[in-house]
Amino acid sequence: LAEVARAWGAEHIHAHWAHLTATLAMAASEASGIPWSFTAHRYDVVLNNLLAEKLRSARFGRFIAREMLELARPLVGPEAIERAILLHMGVPLSPPLPGDAPARARPVALCPARLTPVKGHPHLLAAAARLAGRGIAFELWLAGDGPEGEWLGRRIQELRLGDHVRMLGMVPHMKLLRLYSERSVDCVVLPSLDLGNGVHEGISVALIEAMAHGVPAIGTRTGGLPELLEGGAGILVPPADPDALASALERVLGSAALRAELASAGRRRIEEAFDVSSISRELARRFAGGGQTKALVRELCATYSS
């Protein structure tokens, strides 16, 4: 890696994940004299594979969630943490959609998530059953596949939710984004759980993408979701609480004014902290040691922005 970096005329080495890949990048930096940095994600922080040594050696260590940065703080000590920065993962931002969202006789909530235990779908179905029992008109679309699919299909029938819940299966990414841009859904919901041992939701890119399109978001107060939705950017409810989830869905689906308020606040949150063009420019600045970015890096940033 050091030889390749020198042959390419590289002026900076960056590694994603703070475990083996960062170890290789650190060694390559030592061998080549080229500065380096890394992006830490989630479980790689928990593993603590020479994390303090890597922070002291690197130009900077990027953490994509406040939760992970705070987890690292006691692991690495005050000197090393000075080289840590918080810089989220981002998404491209399209211009805000014009006009008002359409009114529907049956407002649509979409859950964009793999059908796995940590996503909490059983609690979402329980919440949907409560809404149906109150005579509320709505649709719930489950976008995703996974090992719990067959069980969830049976559960929908057991709860007599066939008229309300649609299982879309795996939805291609661009089609999912079109659902948002064409205003086919009225809100997104993520009922994620904390299963212990670090198994919980991060800062959900699925919610970030929806919020970037002005779709109101509901999530649970677990993992990285509060960091995304707190401060009025979305609605937070306790995990594994179908009553609270049903109440939140009823509020959002039943009020066009609330949806408009959440859409605006959510979009603003993404503009402030999750815009990939701003994030890439900041990374480029740091790759250059805080100085002027090179022409190639500027070109890459422009590509991310387009």
Position 13 scores a pLDDT of 96
Position 299 scores a pLDDT of 45
Q: What is the pLDDT of residues 136-162, one digit of tens each?
A: 999 999 999 999 999 999 999 999 999
- Map out the domains of the chain as residue ranges: 2-89, 108-269, 275-306
Position 199 scores a pLDDT of 80
Position 31 scores a pLDDT of 96
288 token code pair: 């250059």
Superfamily of domain 108-269: Glycogen Phosphorylase B; (3.40.50.2000)
2-89 is classed CATH 3.40.50.2000 = yes
Position 99 scores a pLDDT of 74
Ranges of residues in the chain with a pLDDT under 50 are 292-293, 295-306
Position 290 scores a pLDDT of 60
Torsion angle, alpha carbons of 5, 7, 9, 13, to 10 = 0
Residue 107: CB atoms within 10 Å: 21
Position 94 scores a pLDDT of 84
CA gap 240, 246 in Å, rounded: 11
Q: Map 224-287 to HEC letters.
A: CHHHHHCCCCCEEECCCCHHHHHHHHHHHHCCHHHHHHHHHHHHHHHHHHCEHHHHHHHHHHHH
Position 306 scores a pLDDT of 45
Position 305 scores a pLDDT of 44
Position 182 scores a pLDDT of 94
> 143: closest CA among 173, 106, 104?
173
Position 291 scores a pLDDT of 52
Position 170 scores a pLDDT of 97
Q: Quick check: do 2-89 and 108-269 share a fold?
A: yes
Position 303 scores a pLDDT of 44
Position 96 scores a pLDDT of 82
Q: Map 135-163 to HEC letters.
A: CCCCEEEEECCCCCHHHHHHHHHHCCCCC
Length of the chain: 306
Query: pTM of the full predicted structure?
Result: 0.87
**Residue at token pair 């250059």:** 288
